[in-house]
Amino acid sequence: MSVRNSLLALLDSQPMYGAQLKAEFEARTGGQWPLNIGQVYTRLGRLERDGLVEGAGTPDADGRIPYRLTDAGRAEVLGWWDQAVPRDVTPRNELAIKLALAVTMPGVDVRAIVSAQRAATLTHLRELNRSKPRRSFGETPPGVGADELVLESLIFADEAELRWLDYVEERLARS
């Protein structure tokens, strides 16, 4: 739902064609979740089929047709802003699955898996922290940057993973 609703939200500001939507999405999310252009156009086709967007005028010189929201699309965006992100569906966590299986398999060195993951997560966390904008002491940022929010979300997720790995190691030490 997030790509679908993100495209609708972007179209709420102005009509855009697929490549513009892709560029805007990636710019506003700090390039952390690149979209496939085919995915964007497939999604636009579905949104048009569902009556949430429509073509806005004639194709430009390159044959691109901008899309705009319909009234139903605008209502969908407003509803999305008003609703909390659902937490009733738990996404699969590849690391949790890997460790859950590892602790049940004879001969698997779970501590080595935890150690390798910790090293990878620490490396990723350092890369994320290095990519944060540098500010001079006392400099006030000019508002909340969308890319900064995404970056901080990823940093917090890595920090939480490291805390969870500490917990796993502690449990392994007690067993």
CATH code of residue 77: 1.10.10.10
Shared domain check, 72 and 33: yes
What pLDDT score was predicted for residue 30? 85
Shared domain check, 9 and 74: yes
Shared domain check, 118 and 78: no
Q: Does the residue 87 lie in any domain?
A: no
Shared domain check, 105 and 78: no
Task: Write down the mean pLDDT value for the chain.
Answer: 91
Residues 114-146 pLDDT 10s: 999 999 999 999 999 998 877 555 555 556 688
Residues 2-55 pLDDT 10s: 899 999 999 999 999 999 999 999 988 888 889 999 999 999 999 999 999 999
What pLDDT score was predicted for residue 141? 55
**123 vs 157: CA distance, rounded Å:** 14
What pLDDT score was predicted for residue 112? 97
Q: Does the residue 76 lie in any domain?
A: yes
Q: Does the residue 139 lie in any domain?
A: no
Domain of 99 in residue numbering reads as 94-133+144-174
Query: Tell me, what amino acid is at 137?
Result: F
Shared domain check, 119 and 70: no
Residues 74-127 pLDDT 10s: 999 999 999 988 887 778 899 999 999 999 999 999 999 999 999 999 999 999
Structural domain count of the chain: 2
Residue with tokens 């590892």, as numbered in its chain = 102
